[in-house]
Structure 1
Amino acid sequence: MSDSPFVALLPKRCSVKQADEPQWWSGGLYAEERWHAQKMHALRRREFTAGRNCARAALRSLGLPDVAIGKGAQGEPLFPCAVTGSITHTGDYCAAAVCRKPGISSIGIDAQQNVDLDQSLYRRVLGHRPGTTIASDGHCEGTLVFSLKEAFYKALYPVCQRPVPAMALKVHLPASFGPCIIEVLTPALKTVVEAFNVDIRFSFDEQRIYSAVTLSERS
């Protein structure tokens, strides 16, 4: 089993597993998970299944028992209270990351296909019409911004328990490869974020863009 790109984007104490095993996409759900999956269309059920199997494998690598990973009101995975975790899937790729608390309060990961962002998403997510989206170093900039916002939302929601509009987040990409900054434009959410140390990282290859956000406790 190969290492996920998210290993390099998250703290070393996190456990990351990706769905390299074909059977992880087709079976192994617990009863509670099967209840959530029963009305899903086939593709969504396949992704859901792989995500839960990845999450359980990540929990086992931390020495924690296998448990059902439920589904919250906003579709978020419900991990045991002793850990924080996140799941992502895009096309034929799926991964999950988990980390023991305390110290790290929340993590969020997101993977997207490294192709132009769908035009219908530009105004909703970026606030403007499509422009030049292929960066000189080989990633699709609009898709990267979308992915970073998705990862940030996944990390933020468990600690604020409220929807985060895409336009409430402004991404500041670095001039060269490295950590980036996401500015929170909503005062109430900004107050929540200021209680944490925020680490935002990304990487990409020819196939996909990978984004990861870590909210850790301030010392």
Structure 2
Amino acid sequence: MLTATPSGELTCTHWPTSDCKIFHTRFDPAHFSLLQFGNAGIDLPPKIATAVPKRQAEFFHGRLCAQAALRDAGVAQGQVGVGAQREPLWPQGIAGSITHHGAMAAAVVLPAARWAGVGMDVETVGSGQQSAALQETIIMPRERLVLAAHDSAMGMDTLLTLAFSAKESFYKGIYGLVGRVLDFDVISLIGIEASTGTLWFEVMEALGGLYQPGYRFQVAFAAEAGQVMTLFRRAA
């Protein structure tokens, strides 16, 4: 998982069950300045320049992590642009994902020759009303049976947060194929392998390419200390 680091310090962590490198940092929005964009050589989009400080800090530190990941991949001068739906636009030859939650930001990049898309998400495990809202809005009846089978071992709050996070990661990684925002019922959770950190999903409607009704795929996950992290990779 992403260990706690001093505010502003960039750290590289290897994903527990793959060769992916996750670059991450923590930050304090109260001590953020727009001057940091210029100092780091990161482009400042007009909409971010007029956003609230918290959003500015999230955007900057997400791009800072992406910058470190790109340099590690051999892309020294690459900028991550912003698409029409606010999706990250990666340099040619790169598939990547950025996530931020609370005072933490992280990024991962992979070679596009092997991976057509990647999505990563980090969440704090919810409880009470948060969990109830997740169960009501993102979980289908058939998925509740899957979650219930693992409740005693993992806890329903963690399971609900994992399901939400995994769907978020999938939507990020599939966006380049579908080009639109998806509902939470386009994929369905069908299995959990806690020992390998794997969630299995089934596609419920035609999305394009291999992702047709009945197609099954996996999302990697890690969960500890009240935090979950998920990773979806779409092969080229």
State TM-score, norm by structure 1: 0.82
8 Å CA contact 2:27, 2:61 repeated in 1: no
Listed as ranges, the gaps of 5+ residues in structure 1 are none
Contact persistence 1:71–1:77 (CA under 8 A): yes
Instruction: Please identify, of 103-112 and 133-142, the stretch whose mean Cα deviation from structure 2 is larger.
Output: 133-142
SS of 1:102 mapped into structure 2: coil
Partners of 2:32 and 2:53 within 8 A in 1? no
Q: Pairwise mapping of residues 79-94 of structure 1 onto structure 2 (< 5 A)?
A: 79-94=90-105
Instruction: Note the 1:101-116 alignment, pairs <5 A.
Output: 101-116=112-127
Where does residue 28 of structure 1 map in the other structure?
A: 37
Distance change in 2, residues 1:190/1:164 (3 Å): same
The residue number in structure 1 matching 2:170 is 152
2:19 matches 1:8: no
Q: Report the Cα offset of residue 40 of structure 1.
A: 1.9
* SS in structure 2 of the partner of residue 145 of structure 1: helix
Does structure 1 residue 210 correspond to structure 2 residue 221? Answer: no
Structure 1 residue aligned with 2:139: 126
Task: Report the residue type matching 1:216 in the other structure.
Answer: A
Instruction: State how far apart, in whole Å, the 1-side matches of 2:53 and 2:152 are.
Output: 35
Q: CA deviation at 1:105?
A: 1.3
5+ unaligned residues in a row in structure 2: which ranges?
1-9
8 Å contact from structure 1 (residues 114, 208) kept in 2: yes
Provide TM-score, normalisation by structure 2: 0.76
Moved more, 197-206 or 162-171: 197-206
* Alignment partners' CA distance in 2, 1:134 and 1:58: 36
Deviation of the 1:108 alpha carbon: 0.5
Q: Is the 8 A contact 1:28 1:49 kept in 2?
A: yes
Matches within 5 A, 1:49-64: 49-64=60-75
Secondary structure, counterpart of 1:154 in structure 2: helix
Q: Which residue of 2 aligns with 1:47?
A: 58
Size of the aligned set, in residue pairs, is 211
Identical-pair percentage: 24
Q: Which residue of 2 aligns with 1:18?
A: 24
Please report how far the alpha carbon of residue 39 of structure 1 lies from its aligned counterpart in structure 2 after TM superposition: 2.7
RCO comparison, higher one (Cα < 8 Å, 6+): 1
Q: Which structure has the larger Rg over C-alpha atoms?
A: 2
> In structure 2, do the counterparts of structure 1 residues 172 and 68 end up closer, same or farther at CA, with 3 Å as the change threshold?
same
Q: 1:184, 1:70 → 2: CA distance?
A: 30
